[in-house]
A and B are shown apart, each in its own frame.
Chain A
């Protein structure tokens, strides 16, 4: 954390504001935990796939599933259609499995987990202790209003599944959730304990052969989270996963499977960080969500992987496949994402609106600064009657970054009386960056209405002038204007995340003005 130095506070400027600016330093989570690790040998082949399966004590069917994916992957080529520029990835020059030595024997409870690991999450602001709340921002709340907001959330509890490199370190509140009938555990545990659910749903939304990165994930995913919310249950607390990449040259491949049975509700949060390094690291995750009749799932992400330095050295390559299947009538899913990190972002959380009257929503803020490149968006596939979807995407480019919104809205002939509204706005800060919009709109019936709007503009000079007049410096003023620009999306986030996201927006744009 930033050391508090003596601050000369100008009259009329509150102390918090000054601290915010101070804290708007570089990437906060760039440190590394020194811990002994077990690695699988470098490279990728069938033996590595077998090894990962064996390390997770998986049944034979799971190994077969992985091998099938691996063989499929060998026949596929990396997609090149995104507006992303990066050197060829050497898939043999990676570790596909890295586990802290202390995790060799799976700890029975959180008390047995290596204190170093617990300290890591503590430092990240993710206390792995029950009865503690997940405070979004540690000690850096930009305004008194936010302190109040934090206070207001006290008493709200969040269950966490913490994933460290290739393994899940621990999951909190498991017993309490179990009382409500909710299964929340690591996916490796679910494969062993709940094979009937995993067999039924794994790969049913994102099949093994879906795309290059998802297929790779299907072969080598090491851990991830599993959620099952039974019929009619409103999950008593928010669930979350926190992904931490720590080891060098190691790819992280996690798999998340969420099943919301008829009439249930769950809100799920996802966060991630990684140490600063000079080399790029690969992250290829798959998230599958199955939403049954009348159920609702909210999935919120604050993606804060290490973005690389100003020259574009290092950073995470983030190739993620996320998809929700509203399989039955009146199912509802809402994706909210704040993408601030990663050197490369390739991510399109999608909704298959199969059930009649099902609903999909996508709210996104994507911020690219320095040399970052983001190609992100969503797909809304309307198959059922009276389905509705809404897309609100805010892209911000600064420095030499490239930011692309890529989306698909398709209304199938059967999806009568359906509705889509899309709004994607781009904001450019500086004349070296780029903002791009690539929407695909396919309408195959008349009774549906599809509306798409996109704008690109720069930070409004009048607004900046107004803020400067009120005593803000330029960076603060830009941060405020940008926060205003993102407001619609920030509002869609759960409280804790909204605060973290808001300060992240400021941090990510640091140094982009002037």
Chain B
């Protein structure tokens, strides 16, 4: 009996670093048309070497513990019908410069003119042959963000990105940039890569809405010079069985401020990774997300994986993640604060909370701290629970219907995350939109 156990064990792969089926990565790469690259050629080559070294994540990969990587590993995405016209875009009516991407490729005709004072905007596909200031950055922050945790899909993106924006901000522009993603094909595997550099003292607000591809993979590399400010607000509202992975890699110099807020609604398999490197003293990094997950029509799985590194003194970081889950939805949060030796006076805070609206939904969290400096203030909190019946009763007793009361309570639950959106006008629009969605999908 014991002997058979040994034999059976021999046939299965070893537990540590479980080998992936040979050729999975090759098949994945073969299905993409890989750009040769102009100024990005060297970076793409390096990324390919990195990727081949890492391989695709396996089921035993610690950073894929709560999210099944199979739909990202598959050579081609499952076909996904293109929806009829979507509802009014979230930021319609705001004064902004609109940049349209269709399945990850820039659509010049649908976009505004790229001229905006203080900002140089080019597209990756067009600039690649000509050369760009971004040559020093493309793939660099992604490469730096591969340690200590492997992010193979980010490396894959650097290898395969067909298009993206190269944005350099030298002086604060008069209006925000708005990237609108659209879908045209039911089978597109959209891969795009933005590089953003905000020069000393300048500010940029970047808005993102929509979805592209039947499956998407995005990377945004953000390099903030001293005293620069970057404000990012993304609304990812997918049509139902959407599969997508997004990455932000940020490097923050002294006194610079980075703020990112993502709203995620729907999506079968969504993962957002943020890798924030606070490299200069007195810098600030806030990253927040509000998630509405409903598994009624299609499975819902949404994962936020965040890694904040404090490498300088007197810096502040905030991670605020709020997830509302119902009908068997799954929310994942893996957040980490790493305080390097010497990063004294660090103020790091992380909160991840889930509101579960029914018995079948689940929240899986791994909020980590890794601290090598003593004079720091770091804390994290995580809570999971249902709607507070007492609060509900209070609202009902004031004559508010049960459905409406739940909408109120959900909005107030999300408030801390929304507070990370600095612009009142933008925040109000998000609130209004959330109210509409929540009312339409009212919990009985």
Q: In the complex, which residues 332-362 of chain B have their Cβ closer than 8 Å to any Cβ of chain A?
A: 341-342, 344, 354, 356-362
Q: Specify which chain A residues have a CB less than 8 angstroms from the CB of B371 in the assembled complex.
A: 426, 428, 434-436, 456
Contact status B366-A443, CB under 8 Å: no
Residue of A nearest to B375 (CB): A458
Question: B interface, how many residues as a size bin?
Answer: 35 or more
Give the interface centre of A74, A77, A441 by most chain B CB atoms within 10 Å: A441
Contact status A454-B369, CB under 8 Å: yes
Contact status A430-B374, CB under 8 Å: yes
Contact status B386-A458, CB under 8 Å: no
A192 at the interface (CB under 8 A from B): no
Which of B10-18, B47-55, B408-416, B421-429 is the contact stretch?
B10-18
Contact status B359-A456, CB under 8 Å: no
Q: Specify which chain B residues have a CB less than 8 angstroms from the CB of A77 in the assembled complex.
A: 14-16
Once A439-B366, A457-B376 are accepted as A-B contacts, the answer to whether A431 and B344 lie under 8 Å apart by CB is yes
Contact status B376-A458, CB under 8 Å: yes
B64 at the interface (CB under 8 A from A): no
B365 at the interface (CB under 8 A from A): yes
Q: Specify which chain B residues have a CB less than 8 angstroms from the CB of A61 in the assembled complex.
A: none
B62 at the interface (CB under 8 A from A): yes
Q: Specify which chain B residues have a CB less than 8 angstroms from the CB of A54 in the assembled complex.
A: none
A233 to chain B, nearest CB (A): 38
A68 at the interface (CB under 8 A from B): yes
Contact status A443-B5, CB under 8 Å: no
A435 to chain B, nearest CB (A): 5
Residue of B nearest to A74 (CB): B6
Contact status A71-B5, CB under 8 Å: yes
> Once bound together, how far apart are the Cα atoms of A432 and B3, in whole Å?
49
B290 to chain A, nearest CB (A): 19
> Once bound together, how far apart are the Cα atoms of A436 and B360, in whole Å?
32
B345 to chain A, nearest CB (A): 11
A446 at the interface (CB under 8 A from B): yes
Contact status B376-A441, CB under 8 Å: no
Q: Specify which chain A residues have a CB less than 8 angstroms from the CB of B2 in the assembled complex.
A: 67-68, 71-72
B363 at the interface (CB under 8 A from A): yes
Contact of B359 among A74, A426, A431, A445 (CB under 8 A): A445
Which of B35-43, B161-169, B377-385 is the contact stretch?
B377-385
Contact status B5-A72, CB under 8 Å: yes
Residue of B nearest to A429 (CB): B374
Once A74-B6, A431-B341, A446-B386 are accepted as A-B contacts, the answer to whether A456 and B379 lie under 8 Å apart by CB is yes
Contact status A454-B380, CB under 8 Å: yes
> Once bound together, how far apart are the Cα atoms of A456 and B2, in whole Å?
47
Interface flags for A455-497 (1: CB within 8 Å of B; 0: not) read: 1111000000000000000000000000000000000000000
> Once bound together, how far apart are the Cα atoms of A429 and B361, in whole Å?
42
Once A75-B6, A456-B371 are accepted as A-B contacts, the answer to whether A438 and B383 lie under 8 Å apart by CB is no
Contact status A447-B386, CB under 8 Å: yes
Contact status A451-B374, CB under 8 Å: no
> Once bound together, how far apart are the Cα atoms of A72 and B3, in whole Å?
9
Q: Specify which chain B residues have a CB less than 8 angstroms from the CB of A450 in the assembled complex.
A: 382-385
> Once bound together, how far apart are the Cα atoms of A433 and B370, in whole Å?
11
> Once bound together, how far apart are the Cα atoms of A74 and B3, in whole Å?
12
> Once bound together, how far apart are the Cα atoms of A493 and B266, in whole Å?
49
Contact status A457-B367, CB under 8 Å: no
A108 at the interface (CB under 8 A from B): no
Q: Specify which chain B residues have a CB less than 8 angstroms from the CB of A416 in the assembled complex.
A: 359
A200 at the interface (CB under 8 A from B): no
> Once bound together, how far apart are the Cα atoms of A458 and B383, in whole Å?
25
A10 at the interface (CB under 8 A from B): no
Contact of A436 among B10, B363, B366, B370 (CB under 8 A): B370
A448 at the interface (CB under 8 A from B): yes
B9 at the interface (CB under 8 A from A): yes
Q: Specify which chain B residues have a CB less than 8 angstroms from the CB of A448 in the assembled complex.
A: 384-385
A78 to chain B, nearest CB (A): 9
Contact of A458 among B342, B360, B374, B381 (CB under 8 A): B374
Residue of A nearest to B387 (CB): A446
Contact status A436-B368, CB under 8 Å: yes
Once A426-B371, A446-B361 are accepted as A-B contacts, the answer to whether A441 and B382 lie under 8 Å apart by CB is yes
Contact status A452-B383, CB under 8 Å: yes
A449 at the interface (CB under 8 A from B): yes
Give the interface centre of B16, B372, B375 by most chain A CB atoms within 10 Å: B372
> Once bound together, how far apart are the Cα atoms of A453 and B369, in whole Å?
12
Contact status A440-B366, CB under 8 Å: yes
Contact of A81 among B9, B62, B381, B383 (CB under 8 A): B62
A491 to chain B, nearest CB (A): 23
B364 at the interface (CB under 8 A from A): yes
Q: Specify which chain B residues have a CB less than 8 angstroms from the CB of A156 in the assembled complex.
A: none
A438 to chain B, nearest CB (A): 5
Contact of B384 among A71, A76, A83, A443 (CB under 8 A): A443
Contact status A413-B384, CB under 8 Å: no
Contact of B368 among A76, A437, A453 (CB under 8 A): A437
Q: In the complex, which residues 319-333 of chain A have their Cβ closer than 8 Å to any Cβ of chain B?
A: none
A444 at the interface (CB under 8 A from B): yes
> Once bound together, how far apart are the Cα atoms of A435 and B341, in whole Å?
11
Contact status B10-A75, CB under 8 Å: yes
Residue of A nearest to B16 (CB): A77
Contact status A438-B382, CB under 8 Å: no
Residue of B nearest to A410 (CB): B364
Contact status A434-B372, CB under 8 Å: yes
Give the interface centre of A77, A431, A446, A450 by most chain B CB atoms within 10 Å: A446
A193 at the interface (CB under 8 A from B): no
A217 to chain B, nearest CB (A): 17
A439 to chain B, nearest CB (A): 6
B373 at the interface (CB under 8 A from A): yes
Residue of B nearest to A461 (CB): B375
B32 to chain A, nearest CB (A): 33
> Once bound together, how far apart are the Cα atoms of A75 and B10, in whole Å?
8
Give the interface centre of A77, A433, A454 by most chain B CB atoms within 10 Å: A454
Once A80-B16, A441-B384, A454-B380 are accepted as A-B contacts, the answer to whether A433 and B365 lie under 8 Å apart by CB is no
Q: Specify which chain A residues have a CB less than 8 angstroms from the CB of B360 in the assembled complex.
A: 413
Contact status A455-B374, CB under 8 Å: no
Residue of A nearest to B354 (CB): A443
Q: Specify which chain A residues have a CB less than 8 angstroms from the CB of B384 in the assembled complex.
A: 411, 441, 443, 448-450
Q: In the complex, which residues 86-145 of chain B have their Cβ closer than 8 Å to any Cβ of chain A?
A: none
Q: Specify which chain B residues have a CB less than 8 angstroms from the CB of A457 in the assembled complex.
A: 376-378
> Once bound together, how far apart are the Cα atoms of A416 and B62, in whole Å?
28
A478 to chain B, nearest CB (A): 12
A442 at the interface (CB under 8 A from B): yes
Contact of A434 among B366, B370, B379 (CB under 8 A): B370
Q: Specify which chain A residues have a CB less than 8 angstroms from the CB of B361 in the assembled complex.
A: 446
Q: Specify which chain A residues have a CB less than 8 angstroms from the CB of B341 in the assembled complex.
A: 431-432
Residue of B nearest to A422 (CB): B382
Residue of A nearest to B17 (CB): A80
Once A81-B62, A430-B374, A456-B378 are accepted as A-B contacts, the answer to whether A446 and B359 lie under 8 Å apart by CB is yes
Residue of A nearest to B366 (CB): A440
Residue of B nearest to A413 (CB): B359
Contact status B357-A446, CB under 8 Å: yes
Contact of A442 among B6, B344, B364, B372 (CB under 8 A): B364
Contact status A439-B382, CB under 8 Å: yes
A130 to chain B, nearest CB (A): 44
Q: In the complex, which residues 64-89 of chain A have their Cβ closer than 8 Å to any Cβ of chain B?
A: 67-68, 71-72, 74-77, 80-81, 83
Closest 6 CB pairs of A and B: A446-B356, A428-B374, A75-B9, A443-B384, A437-B369, A452-B382
| Chain B residues in the interface with A (C-beta under 8 A) | 1-3, 5-6, 9-10, 14-16, 62, 341-342, 344, 354, 356-386
| Chain A residues in the interface with B (C-beta under 8 A) | 67-68, 71-72, 74-77, 80-81, 83, 411, 413, 416, 426, 428-458
Beyond the given A434-B370, A440-B365, could you list 19 further A-B residue pairs with CB under 8 A, ordered by the A residue number?
A: A72-B6, A72-B9, A81-B62, A413-B359, A413-B360, A431-B342, A433-B372, A433-B374, A434-B371, A436-B369, A436-B371, A438-B368, A439-B368, A441-B384, A442-B362, A442-B364, A449-B383, A455-B378, A455-B379
User: What would be 13 A-B contacts, judged by CB atoms less than 8 Å apart?
Assistant: A71-B2, A75-B6, A77-B14, A429-B374, A437-B380, A439-B367, A440-B366, A441-B384, A442-B363, A446-B361, A454-B379, A454-B380, A455-B379
